Structure 1
Amino acid sequence: MTEYKSRFLELGFYVNDIRFQFQNGRFVTDDPEVISVLNTLVDVERVGQTVESEKPEPKTEEPEAPAKSARKPSAK
Structure 2
Amino acid sequence: MDYYEMKLRQRFEPSGVTRNTQSEEDAFYASFAERCALYTRLLEKLAFRANTRDTAVATSSQPLIRKTIG
Range of TM-score over shorter length? under 0.3
Return the structure number with greater relative CO, CA threshold 8 A, min gap 6: 1
* Structure possessing the higher radius of gyration over alpha carbons: 2
Task: Name whichever structure is richer in strand by fraction.
Answer: 1
* TM-score, with structure 1 as normaliser: 0.26
Task: Name whichever structure is richer in helix by fraction.
Answer: 2
